[in-house]
Amino acid sequence: MQNFKPMLVVAGLALGMASAGVAAADRAQVAVGEAEVMGEMFRSFNPQGQAGLSRLRQDDVQKFCSTPGWQKQKAHVKQLEKEQLATIKYPADGKLLGSWQAGERVAQTGVGMQFSDAPGSTAGGNCYACHQMSAEEVSFGTIGPSLRNFGKTRGNTEAMQRYAYGKIYNSQAYSACSNMPRFGHSGILTEQQMKDLTALLLDPNSPVNK
């Protein structure tokens, strides 16, 4: 009986080392699996025009959001949002509202940055693909929330202007792993286009708020 406790300690250490070995092996297997997936993706796509293979490479945010169970990592989610908020570049002139008429054209336009588009051509926001906006538009997506009466219900304060512009610039700053593109962060839309979209959302004369 005197040797029983030391035997338990040794057994516990052996079990712990075995568990650590299994965990390390699992991590290595996951890493190999990810490498194989990325390798297959690069082999399956061909660059064409301005659509290169570099778009397949994920940044740290995209990698985190591709991790199963990321929603449970509360602290990491808050840190991600904080870091993404710091990336937002507001207009140097301090003006956040452009033309809602131009914003409507940006929202309706879905071209840009595709292999079939001429390099350097102006991209659109394609907002109606995911959101309901103008009451006159009967065709719209439902991936994102309805934006009908966005400014009418939220007001047109400077704080709301900054929020709307920031959300368009980098949606991850307000909702980690959002499906919404990071239009400013990724260089999809210009500063003026984002100003115009902000006006579309908040201007009382915009069709969004009628």
> What residue ranges do the domains of the chain occupy?
1-44, 100-209
Nearest residue to 102 via CA among 174, 7, 190, 6: 190
Please give the share of the chain, as a percent, with pLDDT higher than 70: 83
Average pLDDT, the chain: 86
pLDDT of residue 1: 47
Mean pLDDT of 111-124: 86
Mean pLDDT of 75-104: 97
pLDDT of residue 106: 97
pLDDT of residue 146: 97
pLDDT of residue 14: 45
Mean pLDDT of 76-105: 97
Mean pLDDT of 97-118: 92
Name the amino acid, one letter, at 183. F
Mean pLDDT of 126-145: 94
Mean pLDDT of 97-123: 91
pLDDT of residue 109: 94
pLDDT of residue 21: 53
Mean pLDDT of 92-104: 97
Q: Is the CATH code 1.10.760.10 the one for domain 100-209? A: yes
* pLDDT over threshold 70, residue 206: yes
Mean pLDDT of 165-176: 98
Mean pLDDT of 116-135: 92
pLDDT of residue 29: 58
What pLDDT band is residue 25 in, cutting at 50, 70 and 90? low
